[in-house]
């Protein structure tokens, strides 16, 4: 009889007494003990893991966006582009994840929906941080976090910094004269589209070979927003499929609120200029 294959024969480490193992490095005990279900329904585990994994990917997106913005401020566009490409891939990943959640029917979900109380992704502080980082800044969205001073502080700190789009416009202003009211605006307020910014981006697209870095930056931003829009669309379609037109657990009109969010433009001039080309 041949001896069963033993990976130790080719050097696999089999003893971790006193050494750091895979589970230690990744804090797996903590991670895999965080799936606390509130009912004994089968699908609640899917619902929890779907949200938790989304939050983990968002955590990485924030990490990448933070570094990308810092690189752009320092004029290191190449490094920023690499990170922005990664963030777009993260959202692609999040988009594919809806296919798993779509296997949950309305009957499966209503069996545990009451256990959620008023909790909802609407209160995801990481999602709000991502929106604030990109440039969609609405201070009303701070209010669901008022009971958590640490989260309000985190989000307010974000509002005090220029968004990724503000930083992109400042980069644009190095090649094109832009109004001071745009370049040095109060970054904590929502961004209002500007004809001068659109005219400058249009010039970039008319002569990419002259403005290659700005052109590449613009396309990286559009690429990312494209994936972000797909995420919103996948979300609202999944929501309609699972709860129809019921109100959300977070208290909004549900699908009507999420459809309204489909109109949000993160980098407005970059989309509008296309009509002019």
Does 261 bind ligand HEM (CB under 6 A)? Our answer is yes
Is 39 annotated to bind a ligand? Reply is no
Q: Indicate which single residue of 135, 144, 162, 254 sits in contact with ligand HEM (rule: CB under 6 A).
A: 254
Does 162 bind ligand HEM (CB under 6 A)? Our answer is no
Nearer to ligand HEM, 81 or 112 (CB): 112
Q: Indicate which single residue of 242, 266, 270, 273 sits in contact with ligand HEM (rule: CB under 6 A).
A: 242
Query: How many residues can be counted in the chain?
Result: 277
Does 51 bind ligand HEM (CB under 6 A)? Our answer is yes
Nearer to ligand HEM, 205 or 233 (CB): 233
Nearer to ligand HEM, 80 or 242 (CB): 242
Q: Which stretch binds ligand HEM (CB under 6 A): 64-72, 77-85, 174-182, 252-260?
A: 252-260
Does 54 bind ligand HEM (CB under 6 A)? Our answer is yes
Convert 163-202 to b/e letters by CB count within 10 Å (16 or more is b).
bbbbbbbbbbbeebebeeebbebebeeebeebebbbebbb
Q: Indicate which single residue of 142, 202, 237, 250 sits in contact with ligand HEM (rule: CB under 6 A).
A: 250
Is 41 annotated to bind a ligand? Reply is no
Residues at the contact surface with ligand HEM, assessed by CB under 6 A: 50-51, 54, 101, 109, 120-122, 124, 127, 235, 238-239, 242-243, 248-252, 254, 257-258, 261
């Amino acid at each position: 009889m041949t001896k069963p294959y033993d990976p130790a024969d080719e050097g696999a480490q089999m003893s971790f007494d006193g050494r750091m193992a895979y589970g230690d490095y990744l804090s797996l005990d903590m991670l895999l003990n965080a799936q606390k279900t509130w009912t004994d329904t089968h699908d609640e585990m899917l619902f929890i893991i779907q949200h938790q994994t989304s939050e983990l990917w968002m955590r990485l997106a924030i990490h990448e966006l933070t570094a990308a913005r810092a690189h752009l401020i320092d004029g290191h566009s190449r490094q920023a582009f690499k990170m922005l490409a990664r963030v777009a891939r993260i959202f692609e990943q999040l988009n594919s994840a809806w296919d798993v959640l779509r296997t949950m029917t309305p009957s499966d979900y209503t069996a545990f929906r009451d256990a959620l109380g008023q909790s909802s992704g609407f209160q995801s502080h990481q999602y709000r941080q991502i929106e604030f980082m990109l440039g969609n800044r609405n201070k009303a969205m701070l209010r669901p976090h008022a009971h958590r001073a640490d989260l309000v502080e985190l989000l307010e700190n974000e509002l005090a910094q220029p968004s990724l789009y503000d930083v992109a416009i400042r980069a644009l202003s190095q090649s094109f004269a832009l109004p001071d009211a745009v370049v040095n605006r109060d970054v904590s307020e929502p961004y209002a589209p500007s004809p001068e910014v659109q005219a400058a981006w249009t010039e970039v697209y008319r002569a990419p070979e002259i403005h290659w870095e700005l052109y590449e930056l613009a396309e990286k931003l559009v690429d990312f927003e494209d994936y972000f829009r797909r995420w919103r669309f996948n979300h609202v379609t999944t929501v309609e499929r699972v709860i129809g037109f019921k109100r959300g657990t977070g208290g909004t009109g549900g699908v009507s609120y999420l459809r309204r969010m489909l109109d949000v433009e993160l980098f407005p001039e970059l989309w509008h200029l296309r009509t002019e080309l």
